[in-house]
Structure 1
Amino acid sequence: MASGEEDDPVIEEVDVFLAKSLADKLYLFQYPVRPSTMTYDDVNHMGAKIKPKQQRVELELAVNTTSPNYCRSKGEQIALNVDGAAYDETSTYSAKMMDKQTFSSIQAATDVSRYAAAVFRKGELHVTPLTGILQMRPSFSYLDKADGKTREREAANEGGDSSQDEAEDDAKAVTVRFSRPESEQARQRRFQSYEFLQKKQAEEPWVHLHYHGVNAGRSEHERQYLFCQSSDASENSELVKTAKEYLSMLMPPLEEEKVAAPVGPSNVLSMAQLRTLPLGDQVKTLMKNVKAMPFANLMGLLASGIDSTAALRCIQQVALLVQGNWVVKSDVLYPKNTCSAHSGVPAEVLCRGRDFVMWRFTLERSVMRKDVASVTKLPPEDVKEFLEHVAAPRVNRGWEFLLPTDVDFVKKHPDIAHRQHMLWVGIQSKLEKVFNFSKEDFMPKTSPQPEPVHVAGAQRLMAARERALENKASLQKDLDARRGGARVHIKQEPVSDAEDEPMDTSSSSSVPNGSVNGHPGAAGAASPPELQEFVVKTFRKRFVLTLNEFKRLLNLHLASMPAGPSVFHAVSDRMLTDAITLNHCKQIMVPFPAQSKAAPDEQKVFGLWESGEEFDKHRRLLYDLFTKNYRVRRAAVQSRLAQEFGDVPKADVDRLLNECCSSHAGTWYLKGTIQS
């Protein structure tokens, strides 16, 4: 030993044995979402299964429903959402409450040849190679099942995606297609597709297992296989490597580990991979996948540090502005020399049809599918695909644009809005020649023609001032005429602040669309028919609204109206209240607590009283409960319904609470009244 080196003698030598009894069936389970001090050894394991080839394991563990930390009402609600009211063999929760959770595995490492489990006993170290290292994480597949149930209920309520206005004709054209022989390139793409890989994974059957606790007799017996058996020991061989070779085997030189790419389709990128692409490719890829989105959402998905001006330049190359939102261009989705996957229609024809759909949405919020089909003469499958890109079906209203009008973007970027408007004018002229129609064919006859969205704010303000001066001069002239013709006795009556002050529906002093908050008429004046129509439509959809929330919705409605003279002049709180109560709604006198932080407008709650359906009596009974307390329990609602109407289906109770209330901590509040 060289002088100066620390004396490090060998104090013990240990024999190492290689155990092979469990070499191809030993897995290491890790639970990364739970501390090591909280094991699952004492938890009842209700089931276990494995797919050996994929090394996928699922464990079902019981949930302690008697624990004081377990919310029984929430557990029952989850079970109801997943399994529905009926019970059969396919139900996930047989106890009608969430009494178990599922753990699903993912591979922590693809190459486990360097890992082993070792047991030390009587001066001997016994090593068994690992087959796999699996991380067990909670599985939320029951939420997917609940979403499926919800979509089924919505489809049943809406009666499919078409209404009586969307009914197809009895006689339909039939397109006959013949499949061509599959090329080798197409075959390779199909084998790499996500759908094919998922199908292959699903083909391997589950092998159901029986779980034995850590202290069970069978577990103790299996642990004996971790020790080298006599048959394994007979194969023992002496180490013939030199010390340097043996050291190199123990500590090989560092090499960059090759990370296996995740299994997935070749045409799908993760967000991390996406953000490594050039900005133009990032924008194009996002728009091709999302189809329609606001500009603010796009900036949130792009890599950090991207300049908004550069992003605006890129998005104008691949998308068009529709109602303040960006929608991907048709030629990006349907490139040249391609055809429809449904009908085989060439890409050029598809682009014209989809441009017509997008152009219609620049004029109005909803379109009818039969109108689109009658103009474009395209197969129903292609028309439906166009609409599904940017719209959703609504009962008796056709297809409504997916996104709310992004007024803020139009205000911040008037130059881009003007440029996009001019592009749509050019697209419109081409469509008129191709499909032989005029713009007036699709405009409501009673509504004024919309003005371009590029009118500057200063011009709107000046026009509003001019209209105010004209109104003032007209009123003064009328008053002078009355004074000259006859003596008029005018009695000054006090007017409350709430009646005299016009409604302020926004935090800023600017009023959208040029509407002017002048002096309102006398208290109790008749509200405009347009306001009453808005009340009816809003409460048929929302059922319960606070005055503050109704003001917000009205403000959004005003902002989405085309520029020009507004039909909504000064609107006071009194006029709003009168318009609501005159249209089959009533105020619900909710007894808020004295320490409530709700604003006065949030404490004025209105509910739809009469809609003409049998369900109105259930709503009125619910409103009566909320006149006694500002929050109620589900059991109280069920008890009162059963007392008044007998046995009420659970689905009706769910519908009543979901339409009118919001849930928090196991208690139900009328919408908009929840207290934080």
Structure 2
Amino acid sequence: MEEEDPIVEEIPVYLSKSLAENLYIFQFSTKDAHYTIDCNDVVNSCAKPHNQQASVKVDFGLETKSRNYDEFRGAQLAVGADGKNPSKGDRPSFPSGTMDKMSFVSSKSVQKSGNFVIGVMQDREIHTTPLQGILQMRPSFSYFDKQDARRRAEQKNDTDVEAEEEMKQVTVRFARSDSEKARKAREKTFDFMAAREAEEPWCETFWHPTGSTAVELERTKLFCTKTAPTGHALTATSNDYVRALIPREGNDKSVETIVPSGIVSLCAVILLLDKQDARRRAEQKNDTDVEAEEEMKQVTVRFARSDSEKARKAREKTFDFMAAREAEEPWCETFWHPTGSTAVELERTKLFCTKTAPTGHALTATSNDYVRALIPREGNDKSVETIVPSGIVSLYQMKEMGLQEQIKNILIDVVTCNNCGQFTDHSCFLFLGFPIIKGSPKHSQGPYWEMRVGRGLQITQARIHITVVRILPLIGLLIRGNWVIQSEVLYPAESFSSTNGIPSEVMCRSRDYVLYQLVRRNFVDRQKIGVVIQLPPEEVKEILMSVAQVSSRGWELPLMPDVRFESKYPELVQRQEMFWRSKEDLFSEMESEKVPKRVRKRSIREPSKVPAVNGMV
């Protein structure tokens, strides 16, 4: 009997889904193995984001000052593509008048990329993120096509001028409209899809260089935030595995009484094969109808009834419909961030999971625990729900939540309790050693709440430094070492404020501006804040009261800066600083739009123009 391979090391693997819908890999098949994206400067980038088969075009700059560059040939190619006097309506391929860039257009190298992931290893942990697509970047020589098309158009114009046009009598015949089946078959052809794709314009995009702030923000999404156990396929029995592969369709009572439990009957397999044969015959019939020649006949126009919702959804899932949508979608300009930029580094941090607590293994679970994980208990304690007021999450309900949901509800309840008047002072509320702005009982201190929350939620000291530090940036903002709830969590999307019904987008933008001012200044003025954010006084006061307290010099943070926390976690401070830098342009635009213009007042010393009466003025 062969001995089993010894386990050298166990490395935890986490699955992050923050970038699962927007993560692509670019392959440059024409470049060598040592090529990186930073070897060339990206001058422009375009994309077609609306179709399901994403297309990307990237323009790399050429070194026109190099001794290996032929300036005469570059100018000749530019003139050949755009002409000597390009019209204003046409977009030139080379606006500089010389060939100073090389375009690369993407094509799908793998049709189904759902089985591929990208992994990042850090601190002896592997964080994986599913790929949305794998794109192969190939050089595009569209400027040659433009040159040939313009030459053919010029030759055609010359031929039309020289040829004598003869007046002839013509007979107009209207071809009958294609049937729905023929139209669908025609839309599946390669010529139709290529024409639709060629008609779709490009949309300009922004290319963020590596190391930029935007790239660093996206990189943080590569880290997993949930580490709950997901089970293991090796623990399934043979019957469960077959049942998962071939689900039963329809219930034959006579067969179910004979076939043992967990065994797939032969009747289900025969029904599946019959459906496959019927589908194959229908496809062959469609191909035969397309190949047959259609004869011109007199037709009667009838208006078809509108498709049902089910038929419309089924049609939108076809390849023809998706190809047509892809061809119609214009290219959008994008930002290209080079390697090493702040945005790239921020996006790279998203490859790492924020939760690294051990979740155990499915093979070690008992049968009862496995069934409980598959079929969670449904039901609530009615006695608790009748006591707890509406909108308040009880401690019993928080025990059933994950750690991230627990922390989020605590942060929200702290702000809510203060606004309701239950928490009257502005002392520090310590949550497991991390200061949170606003909210503590009137006659209680931080350690009391720390002990109560720690026991109720079963949070140990070991999980504090590993898990809580990684969860807090997902739902909170760091303000001088203190944590506040994020505006997007406090004001969910498509919601409105309870006071004046202000949309959530406006409330989030206004609250972020207030937090930004509190980060940059020790005191803020309520009137100046109201002029910039343009909200009713009640909303402005509500935002300020949730994060600050009033003093003789203005509104200030209720807590002193926690320098010890900032020195202990400098990476969190740096990440938060990058977040505020990314919003500086938006806040500057808000301030510039709301600056009041100075109006010159009339001087009161101007002499009166009323004539004097009896020697008096």
TM-score (structure 2 length as normaliser): 0.36
Q: Which has the higher contact order (CA 8 A, sep 6+)?
A: 2
**TM-score relative to the length of structure 1:** 0.33
